[in-house]
Amino acid sequence: MLSYGTYLAYVLLAEALQTDVINETNEINPGVHWNAGKIWAEFSHSWGWAFANNVRIGAVGMLAGMTAPLAWGLFLYHVYLVWAGMTTNESSKWADWRDDAADGLVFRAERKLDSSSRNAEMEPFVDWPISSTQQLASTPDGELPATQRSDTNTRATSFSADGAAELPQWRRVKSLDEVDNLYDLGFWDNFLDTLPT
């Protein structure tokens, strides 16, 4: 809408210039464009004249033209988030994991899914096409995480609903390409998921 408002303001002002500027110079020739043969100084002077004579259209057109890039930027960022399968809040969380993985502080383990250990009140069944058995842990020193470490310096996030007691086999994660994002269904399915049902 902002881009369209900018375009409309341009069309209206250019039309005013086409009629008024040519009429002022007594060169009534509808086949000649108003800016034909003008140098930059004359061109900018003509636009200044159009803005002065049509302040409302010019002001709204300038406002729309200056804010349109912001709206386009937010729109493209939203398209990226749909493509990546995450929200703006999750993007900052994934950025933390990305930075820790680049520093060699993140480890991943695979665990078996055990649906019998689910607490139906806390973890109700959700019909979601992707499930994962990964468990991530970030350590402050880059050493392998302890299996049942409870200190506050280790951040561990389980993306499974297993709760199994077996010991995980940890391996270092070098990038987020090695980590499953449960919410990334692919661009088209992510897009369809954003639409109201």
Which pLDDT score, from 0 to 100, does residue 160 have? 46
pLDDT recorded at residue 89? 78
- Grouping H, G, I as helix, E, B as strand and the rest as coil, residue 81 is helix
DSSP string for residues in 131-150: ---EEEEE-SSSSPPPTT--
| DSSP letter assigned to residue 158 | E
Q: Is the separation of the CB atoms in 61 and 6 below 8 Å?
A: yes
Find how far residue 1's CA is from the centre of its chain. Answer: 19
pLDDT grade, residue 3 (50/70/90)? very high
Which residue reads 């803005």 in tokens?
51
Spatial separation of the C-alpha atoms in residues 6 and 12, rounded to whole Å: 10
